[in-house]
Amino acid sequence: MEAQQLVHKIATTEETKSYLMLVLDAFQNMDYHKLNDLLDEEAYYEDMKKTAFIYKQMQIFKELRKKEDTYLNLSTNICTGCLCNDPQPVFVFTGNNSGLKYAIIIEFTEGEITDIYRCSEQSDWLDGMMPF
């Protein structure tokens, strides 16, 4: 499934689709400042406060830049791993130089992003990343 098709499948309104595309663009460009601006201040992502989540993304993006990645290509896949009761669609970001993969699952509740977390099954190991 193309990334655009997945966006249209999981985001129910045009506003949500546009918002999700902005979030995905921030990941593709490894722009943790933009992520910080986009994500809800009060929300928890990957079971951590937004500030800790953003810091973690900064570390991941730093590791990818060390591998000379300047951009992350976007694709999709299906996670059938340990954290998913049912197969879940994931967004997979692949380093344009290293080929390393960083996959995330984005959950929605009533049209709002309520969680973003790494899919360890579809992600490569990067320094500083916990296995779960």
SS3 87: coil
The pTM (predicted TM-score) of the whole model is: 0.88
C-alpha 22/C-alpha 36 separation (Å) is 12
**Domain locations in the chain?**
3-118
| The two structure tokens encoding residue 14 | 């045009």
Q: What are the tens digits of pLDDT across the range 76-92?
A: 998 877 655 677 789 99
User: Which comes out higher in pLDDT, residue 128 or 52?
Assistant: 52
Can you give the pLDDT at residue 112? 81
Does the domain formed by 3-118 have CATH 3.10.450?
yes
Say if residue 132's pLDDT is above 50: no
C-alpha 81/C-alpha 54 separation (Å) is 24
Q: What are the tens digits of pLDDT across the range 17-48?
A: 899 999 999 999 999 999 999 999 998 999 99
